[in-house]
Structure formats: structure tokens, C-alpha cells
Amino acid sequence: KAGVTQTPRYLIKTRGQQVTLSCSPISGHRSVSWYQQTPGQGLQFLFEYFSETQRNKGNFPGRFSGRQFSNSRSEMNVSTLELGDSALYLCASSPWQATNEKLFFGSGTQLSVL
């Protein structure tokens, strides 16, 4: 099985722009979650989608949004980019939402905001 695929791998944007990141989960996985990782804050939960519905959301401003499609692929969007949005954005998939399922992470998208 192919792993979790995130595109693009690297992205450079300027302040005020918007960006869309893509995540393709492992085939058959229905849950996709997103995380932001910065050196100062570590790995922080953004949101989780299951069956095209956002099931949970972390403490991020409304500029961060996402969606999931019927094939379980997910996108996240960040509008009006700020310098502080520079980070590694990771997505993870799992088959279901059960507590005893492991997460499979992609390699992430490294976003730099100039």
C-alpha cells in the first residue's frame, strides 16, 4: 500500500497570500488529521476529518480551514498568511476513529512565509 502522500513538499509564500495543502491518505483510511509543527510550539493538532465532516478542531484561528472529499483526500487552507504560519504541516490517516488505532503520517509540507 502506498503511504500518506502530502503535496507539495515545499512551499514559499508571502504575507497576505493564501495557500492550499493536499493530503492523500492510505487507501481505505477514512480519518485524516492535520498538525502544525514549529520549533517553538512542537506538534499541534489542527483538525480531524472523518467521512467528509470535521470532527474536531484545535485552537487555531479561523484562517485555518480544511475539507475532506468523498475519496477521503483532504485539503487544508490557510488564508491571509502571517510570518508565524511558517511551519511543517503534517497530515495523518487512520482507518477509523477508534482509540486503539495508530496514525500514519505523511512527510509533511514545509511552508515558508516571507
Which residues bind to another protein, rule: CB under 8 A? Answer: 4, 31, 33, 35, 42-45, 48, 50, 55-56, 88, 90, 92, 94, 97-100, 102-108, 110
Closest CA to 47 of 39, 56, 38: 56
Least distance (Å) between residue 16 CB and another protein:
27
| Identity at 53, one-letter amino acid code | T
H or E stretch at 111: strand 109-113
Pick 50 or 64: Cβ nearer another protein = 50
Pick 5 or 20: Cβ nearer another protein = 5
50 vs 7: CA distance, rounded Å: 20
Which cell is 91 given? 497530515
Pick 2 or 98: Cβ nearer another protein = 98
